[in-house]
Amino acid sequence: LAAAGPTSVAGPVTTTDGRRIAIVANIADAKDATRAAGVGAEGVGLLRTELTFLSAATEPTEADQRAGYAATMEPLRGLPITARTLDAGADKPVPFLDVAPEVNPALGVRGQRLFDEVAGDAAERSSTIGSGSADRAGVLDRQLAALVGGAADAGVPLKVMAPMISTADEARRFVARARAAGAEQVGVMIEVPAAVLNAPELLAEVDFVSVGTNDLTQYVFAADRQSGALAAFNDPWQPAVLRLLDQLCRAAEVTGTPVGVCGEAAADPALAVVLVGLGVTSLSAAASALPAVAARVGSVDLATARRAAAAAVGSPDVASARAAVRDLLG
C-alpha cells in the first residue's frame, strides 16, 4: 500500500524560501465548497456557475441566483472566491439562451462570446446565434449582480472572471460591465491561444488572469478535449502548452498581473511546481488534489521550481518533460 499522503492544506503555503502560493479549490456547488473547506483550501479559484443554468428552462431570477450563490459560498465564509461567469455553449448548452446549432460548437459562440458584441457583421451574427438574443446581455448583467450580492450575503471577498476571452477589447468590455455590477476584482480566463499572444494589451485591462489549461490545451492542439482518440494531445505537460504559459507569465511580469491556473494542470503536484517556477501564484484544483499539491509546492525553493520550469519548457515532448522534472525533484 502507498503511504498515506497529506490530508489537508497546511496553509498559508509558501515555497521553502517564502514565495506565497494560494492553494484554492475548483467548485460548482455547496457540497464542493464544504469539501474545499474540509481540506483547508485557502479559497476558491474557480466557481463554475453553469450548474443552475444548464438545467433551467427559463432564466433563474436574479434573486434566486443570488440565494443560490450565497448558499454555495456560505461554507467558505471569509475566504476569497473567484467566480466564473456563465460558460455556456459548446458542450454546455443552456436551453433558454436559444443558441442556434453550430457546426463547430467548441469554436463557436460560447462563453463570454454569447454576451459580447462579437466583432463582425451584426446581421450575420443575429442569424447565426438565433432569435431571443435581445436581452442576452441582460443575462450576464443579472448574473454579475447576483454574484456580487450573493458574495456579500455569504461574507466572502469576490473576484469575477469571464471564460473564452481572446482579445483586449473583449476583456475591456467585460471588465466595464463587471465593475458596473459592483465587482471590485475583475479578471479573465486564459484558455484561447490568442489571449496569450495578445497578453501585453489584454493584461493591462484586468486585475488578474486564470489559465484554463483544459481548454487552452484543446485549442493549442486543435484537439477536442472530449475525444479519447486525441487524449495524448490533451496533456498539460505538452511543452507547447508550457511554452505558452511561459510567454504569458513573462508578459504578466511586465504588467504586474497575478497569474493563476485553474485547469487540470494544477492538480498534478510535479506540474504545479513547474507552474510556480513559471511565475504562477495561485493553483486551483478539485479539493481532493489540494493537500498533495500544497505539500509538493511547500517542499521546494523557487530556484528549484524555476529549474523544473526551464527543463519542462525546453523539453521536446511530454515524456521528456515529465522525466526531466522527475529527475530534478526526485
Which residue's CB atom is positioned nearest to ligand PEP? 212
**Binding characters for Mg ion, 209-248, by CB under 5 A (x = yes):** ---x--x---------------------------------
CB neighbour list of residue 270: distance below 8 Å, 6 or more residues apart: 296, 308, 322, 325, 326, 329
- Grid cell of 297 as nine digits: 509546492
User: What does the alpha-carbon distance between residue 296 and residue 143 come to, in Å, rounded to a whole number?
Assistant: 37
Work out how close the CB of 326 gets to ligand PEP at its nearest, in angstroms, rounded to a whole number. 24
Subset of residues 172 to 211 that bind Mg ion, contact rule: CB under 5 A: 191
Q: Is 190 in the site for ligand PEP (CB under 6 A)?
A: no
If binding is defined by CB under 6 A, does position 263 make contact with ligand PEP? yes
Q: Which residues are 27's β-sheet partners?
A: 47
59 near Mg ion, judged by CB under 5 A: no
Enumerate residues 35-64 that contact ligand PEP by CB under 6 A: 46, 48
Chain positions 217 to 236 lying near ligand PEP, rule: CB under 6 A, are: none
Binding test (CB under 6 A) with ligand PEP, winner from 109, 139, 165, 262: 262
CB count within 10 Å of CB 310 equals 16
- Does 215 participate in binding ligand PEP (rule CB under 6 A)? yes
Binders of ligand PEP in range 73-112 (CB under 6 A): 87
Within 217-271, strands assigned E span: 259-261
Q: Confirm if 20 and 281 have CB atoms less than 8 A apart.
A: yes
- CB of 51 vs Mg ion, minimal distance in Å: 15
Sequence-ordered list of residues with C-beta below 8 angstroms from that of 128, at least 6 positions apart, any chain: 100, 102, 109
Size of the site for ligand PEP (CB under 6 A): 10
Please check whether residue 98 is in contact with residue 105, taking contact to mean a CB–CB distance below 8 angstroms.
Answer: no
Residue 236 touches which of Mg ion, ligand PEP, none (Cβ within 5-8 Å per kind): none
Cα angle 257, 261, 267 (rounded to 5 degrees) comes to 155
Write the secondary structure of 144-162 as one string of H (helix), E (strand) and C (coil): HHHHHHHHHHHCCCEEEEE
Q: Does 212 bind ligand PEP (CB under 6 A)?
A: yes
Least separation in angstroms between residue 186's CB and ligand PEP is 18
136: burial class by Cβ within 10 Å (0-12, 13-18, 19+)? Answer: middle
Among 15, 49, 112, 213, binds ligand PEP (CB under 6 A): 213
Q: Does 264 bind Mg ion (CB under 5 A)?
A: no
Residues contributing to the site for ligand PEP (CB under 6 A):
46, 48, 87, 191, 212-215, 262-263
